[in-house]
Structure 1
Amino acid sequence: MSRLFYILFLSYAVATSILDAQIDAINEIAFKKGYSQQDLNQIIYQYGVPTVAQLTQLQAAEVINKLQNSSKEVNLKKDDSNEYKTVIYDEKPILADVLEVGMSKYFYLVDGNRILGTIVEINDDICNIKTKEGILNIPMNDILEETIDLVKTDDTRYKGPLIKEDQESLLVRSKYGDVIILKKEVHSMQRYHGGKLSPQIESRKTFEQGEDALVAVFFDPNAFVLEPNTFYLSAMSIGYGLTDRFMMTTQFGSSLSNDLNLHPKLRLMHQKTSTKETALSIGIGIHRNYKIRKSLSKFSHKIYKTENGDDFNKEMTLNKINIEGEPSCGNNESSCIDLDNFYDMEENNFYWESYIVYSSKRKNPTGRGKVGYSVGLKTSNISQHIKNSYEYITNDGDTLTLNGDNVPWHYRFYATFEYDLQKRLKFVASMYADNTNRALPFEDAISDYLGDIGSPFSFDALGGDPATVDFDFGFTYSVNENFRVGLHFQQPYIDIHWEFFEF
């Protein structure tokens, strides 16, 4: 039986693709042993594949073992037989064959130095490279060749000298022409400096860009959209990037409560350079069955109670009244008002909202990450859902009336700000003027979201103090390339953002 398990395990290992950890190990060991690109390729070719990424797990284990237990000697096939002979290659590094004005990237030098800059002039075999520290005059024969061997997510492969690189793309020169490749489309990549494999692990995004791109700050959308074919999940909605300028989301809490809804966003304008990006977008939201309770919750501080048509006291608003199911009611429900007893409380309405927003972000002058802002205007037809009055006749014959004649048209002006503090950590802030805004304590906001108050996965509590002009700030942390969590000081206090790239 143990032999059977061994055979099954061996068969699985032979057929299973190489692990990322094995690729990293092969690259790092080869670099430390001083193997050139040609050295490593000759070892890989023995397994009938052109690249490390195409090895199986078992083959990768054999390669790692060979590298760990051998000197810098490699086996080469004879031309006329199946035997192998040992050859030691010349250790001289390969110098850059392609150097031209405009090349902008890291330049690796024969003495081990590495500089980041742009070639601005070449005279008498001297490259004048502009860096942050000034212009350096470097002999051409001191610059190592940097070549790229990469495989894209669509299995396309490119190999050649690296001409230019920024935070989002690579310009690779092949014998058939120059090719621009977006880093987000790279499945695997190896770099060779002077013919030797570099052990560095490539990432799709760098701190120049930040670990992730925001499409909203708290409740407020910005003008940027999801990447095409990207699935998105937050604490209140799910969405999908349909094209490079159009995305769609839906609030799943409302949809699960029979209020199907769609929230498309369209980017109208977009300009992008290596240091700055701006965009202008519009968005709408439509709900086919928007619950009247949610509409009342938005303007609960504008709806006031009267009894038997007397004692008009506009200070006794819905957010201050003891309502069943609200924290203000406590355990004494007999003295609280049940909204379900009021006429027309079960009525649902067609809801729409629309907004326009402008966003800008640029490279931080300090060189650490990016800084950006957005300004937007949003409105909706919530006030049209609310009638002038809702009446309820008690068992004692008294008439209670909720008056909605003081409800204005909804508006929200907002400005948001984001700043990369570290590669994974952002500072975010928002300032807004919103005539539906109310401040809820933390425990009430959590109860509201979980459905202990109103519907689950939404915010429709009636309580809270009105705050027409207010601000909020907090931090978001990227756990990995896909998942981000946030903490701030206003409702909803906690934020999540989960993206599945190339879904």
Structure 2
Amino acid sequence: MRTFLLSVICCALLTAQSAEERTLLLRSGDKISGTVVTENDTAVVLKTSFGEISVLKSSIKPQSITVYLKDGSVVSGEIESRSDAGLRLRTSFGVVTIDQANVDRTSEGGTFIPGTMKDEEFLYADERLIDIFFDPTGYTMEKGAIYISGLSWGVALSENIDVSSSYWRYFLADLNIRPKFRLYKSGSIESEQSFAVGFHFHSAGMTGKMRYVSVTEPVYNWNGPTTYQTMQRWESVGDASDSRVWTEFFAAYTLSNLKADKQGRISYHLGASVIVHPEETMPRAWIALDNDITSKFKIIGQLYYDPYQPSYRQMGNEMRNKSPFDLDFGFVYAYDENLRFGIHYQPYVILFYLKF
């Protein structure tokens, strides 16, 4: 009888230990919590409050993790295996094994471990900017990501290369392509740097830039000789019927720092571009900042130099630029897993895009 009771107790303990509670974050944005019933190479079966659910592992977000060690070190990577003894991670510098006794806390994507991170903390916002409004940053998109906005579409061919195109310009017979190459990335979760270069090739069409010119036009008099009048005005560099090839070249650097309270990041962006057109060579430079207010909402400020981009007021009143420097300010909001939208001061005022 004593042996039987011990056997029952041991079985109960083993069952309790094997009843692993797990919360899965899916690629669709859904989150499912329950007790693991079975698990194999392709699926996980969870016992939830609404029954047993089989979840394909291909539908689960990759299990990335950031491990904070007791000595102050921080290691990020994808989970290769884990046990009570520790973690085996695939990182940017190879596969590493971390003893559980050295772990202070972790933050994870895909599977969340309760209590490892405060609810109000987030290391990255839902949106990492690849552009400041219409100027590039040092970031590229995640591998395999696809987006479509009101003006363009893009796809990431790898972690370091993405390609986009302004599809609205197809109506101007402008076959255009904008490859972007990330040449450098370094740092840790606390502070990271990224540098990218690229170009935007256009087979035709207007540049979207304007120049201030003096134009002499005839003034016809019914009862007298024709006279001429000289006026100053803004005119487009290139027009919709322009069939000449032109290209924009750009480079951008980003420094992103985790806030001290671990409620998101502040990122600094520095960049320059030049449009080479048969009529003009047009430079532009910018410095910008984006600040995560929440994991879904960030504000953006930008100071830029561009003598070929007048303000609405200058264009309307035919005023010359008093200064080639100007400001832009706005926000971006990640409504859900796919939809982002925002507003900013300079043209174009409203921005939105879908990301897949």
TM range (shorter): 0.5 to 0.7
Query: Which of 231, 237, 245 is residue 160 of structure 2 equivalent to?
Result: 245
Deviation at 1:256, TM superposition (A): 3.8
Distance in 1 between the 2:30 and 2:178 partners? Answer: 41
Report the CA distance shift for 1:62/1:427 in structure 2 as closer, same or farther (over 3 A).
closer
Residue 332 of structure 2 is aligned to residue 409 of structure 1: no
Query: Which of 19, 23, 32 is residue 32 of structure 2 equivalent to?
Result: 23
Distance in 2 between the 1:471 and 1:364 partners? Answer: 25
Contact 2:216 2:228 in 1 (8 A): no
Deviation at 1:417, TM superposition (A): 0.9
Distance in 2 between the 1:20 and 1:478 partners? Answer: 13
Deviation at 1:235, TM superposition (A): 2.5
Deviation at 1:22, TM superposition (A): 8.6
Residue 355 of structure 2 is aligned to residue 438 of structure 1: no
Deviation at 1:51, TM superposition (A): 9.8
Contact 2:177 2:202 in 1 (8 A): yes
Report the CA distance shift for 1:424/1:270 in structure 2 as closer, same or farther (over 3 A).
same
Distance in 2 between the 1:21 and 1:209 partners? Answer: 19
SS in structure 1 of the partner of residue 260 of structure 2: coil
Distance in 2 between the 1:345 and 1:62 partners? Answer: 60
Q: How far does the alpha carbon of each residue in 1:388-417 deviate from its partner, in whole angstroms, 9 at most, with x for none?
A: xxxxxxxxxxxxxxxxxxxx5311111111
Relative to the length of structure 1, the TM-score reads 0.49
| AA partner of residue 471 (structure 1) | L
Contact 2:250 2:274 in 1 (8 A): yes
Corresponding position of 1:480:
336
Distance in 1 between the 2:282 and 2:150 partners? Answer: 24
Corresponding position of 2:272:
377
Deviation at 1:271, TM superposition (A): 1.0
Distance in 2 between the 1:473 and 1:465 partners? Answer: 23
Residue 217 of structure 2 is aligned to residue 306 of structure 1: yes
Distance in 2 between the 1:433 and 1:365 partners? Answer: 32
Corresponding position of 1:315:
232
Distance in 1 between the 2:156 and 2:297 partners? Answer: 24
Map 1:284-295; keep pairs closer than 5 Å: 284-288=199-203, 290-291=204-205, 294-295=206-207
Deviation at 1:263, TM superposition (A): 0.4
Distance in 1 between the 2:211 and 2:191 partners? Answer: 42
Corresponding position of 1:70:
none
Map 1:69-88; keep pairs closer than 5 Å: none
SS in structure 1 of the partner of residue 230 of structure 2: coil
More helix by share: 1
SS in structure 2 of the partner of residue 365 of structure 1: coil
Report the CA distance shift for 1:22/1:284 in structure 2 as closer, same or farther (over 3 A).
closer
Bigger-Rg structure (1/2)? 1
SS in structure 1 of the partner of residue 158 of structure 2: coil
Deviation at 1:161, TM superposition (A): 3.6
Q: How far does the alpha carbon of each residue in 1:451-503 deviate from its partner, in whole angstroms, 9 at most, with x for none?
A: xxxxxxxxxx9997655321011111111233221112221111123221xxx
Residue 70 of structure 2 is aligned to residue 119 of structure 1: yes
Distance in 1 between the 2:185 and 2:296 partners? Answer: 25
| AA partner of residue 381 (structure 1) | V
Deviation at 1:199, TM superposition (A): 10
| AA partner of residue 190 (structure 2) | T
Contact 1:419 1:427 in 2 (8 A): yes
Contact 1:270 1:277 in 2 (8 A): yes
Residue 172 of structure 2 is aligned to residue 269 of structure 1: no
Distance in 2 between the 1:245 and 1:463 partners? Answer: 44
| AA partner of residue 271 (structure 1) | S
SS in structure 1 of the partner of residue 169 of structure 2: helix
Distance in 2 between the 1:416 and 1:268 partners? Answer: 20
Deviation at 1:273, TM superposition (A): 1.1
Residue 197 of structure 2 is aligned to residue 282 of structure 1: yes
Structure 1: tracts of 5 or more residues without a match:
1-18, 28-39, 65-102, 106-117, 121-129, 132-151, 175-180, 192-197, 320-338, 387-407, 442-460
Corresponding position of 2:259:
364
Deviation at 1:305, TM superposition (A): 4.5
Deviation at 1:304, TM superposition (A): 2.8
Contact 2:67 2:107 in 1 (8 A): no
SS in structure 2 of the partner of residue 301 of structure 1: strand
| AA partner of residue 301 (structure 1) | Y
Deviation at 1:248, TM superposition (A): 0.6
Distance in 2 between the 1:263 and 1:420 partners? Answer: 28
More strand by share: 2
User: More displaced, 344-353 or 266-275?
Assistant: 344-353
Report the CA distance shift for 1:255/1:317 in structure 2 as closer, same or farther (over 3 A).
closer
Deviation at 1:246, TM superposition (A): 1.1
Aligned residues: 294
Structure 2: tracts of 5 or more residues without a match:
1-27, 54-65, 100-105, 220-225
Corresponding position of 2:354:
498
Distance in 2 between the 1:269 and 1:255 partners? Answer: 32
Deviation at 1:234, TM superposition (A): 2.4
% identity of equivalent residues: 18
Deviation at 1:60, TM superposition (A): 8.0
Distance in 2 between the 1:162 and 1:357 partners? Answer: 43
Map 1:320-335; keep pairs closer than 5 Å: none
RMSD between superposed Cα atoms in Å:
4.4
Contact 1:305 1:318 in 2 (8 A): no
Deviation at 1:62, TM superposition (A): 4.1
Contact 2:82 2:88 in 1 (8 A): no
| AA partner of residue 232 (structure 1) | Y
Distance in 1 between the 2:131 and 2:81 partners? Answer: 36
Contact 1:212 1:481 in 2 (8 A): no
